[in-house]
Amino acid sequence: MPTQIALPLALPGSGEASRVVIGNANSAAYEALSNPQAWPFRTAALTGPPRSGKSLLGKWAETQGIHVIDGADSWDEAELFHRWNRAQETGEPLLLISDRQPWEIALPDLRSRLGGSLQLEIGVPDDDMVARLIAAIAEQRGLMLGEGALEYLVPRAERSFAEIEHLVIAIDRLSLERKVPATMSLWRDALDATQGPEQARLL
């Protein structure tokens, strides 16, 4: 399995493609998206925490011929029910991405239909995935992390996609503000800024 998938999503101000790291937290979802023919009722629902790459996976899924509705939890439920029916009629796979976890559905017909569809959830990244997330976000920002950065940061970083991103952004910001390379003093200050002092985190 590749560690990253290049996705056709241009970053603001650049011609580069965004990347999503595939690891323990999302490998099952990625594998399922690679085989929509196996989905019950041609439909899958994907949920996960903020900044966990749900939309990027959705962008990639679209290139595989999957009809994607991102932010489906904010759609009119009657319209979603219509889209579910259309997927059954046309055979086109339908992926619904929800920012709510769990996704509570009020319309009984839609709730029962989606209850029988494939349920995909992005989980908590392990150490290996945290390391690759930090490296990927730093590369995306053009940030050179000093030697030993991952060994220092991984055991101290929160197991949260959003907080991992905030941590790398903080390191980048401090490096630019102080006009110094990203070494241990910056890593420590960024951790303190995003997660609080280390001693307090240990209590």
The answer to whether residue 63 scores a pLDDT higher than 50 is yes
* pLDDT tens readout for residues 69-90: 999 999 999 999 999 999 999 9
Question: Which pLDDT band, with edges at 50, 70 and 90, does 196 fall under?
Answer: confident
Task: Say what the pTM is.
Answer: 0.85
Over the stretch 89-124, which tens digit does the pLDDT of each residue have?
999 999 999 988 788 999 999 999 999 999 999 999
pLDDT tens column, 149-184: 999 999 999 999 999 999 999 999 999 999 999 999
What is the residue-averaged pLDDT of the chain? 89
3-class SS letters over the chain: CCCEEEEEEECCCCCCEEEEECCCCCHHHHHHHCCHHHCHHHEEEEECCCCCCHHHHHHHHHHCCCEEEECHHHCCHHHHHHHHHHHHHHCCCEEEEECCCCCCCCCHHHHHHHHCCEEEECCCCCHHHHHHHHHHHHHHHCCCECCCHHHHHCCCCCCCHHHHHHHHHHHHHHHHHHCCCECHHHHHHHHHHHHCCHHHHHC
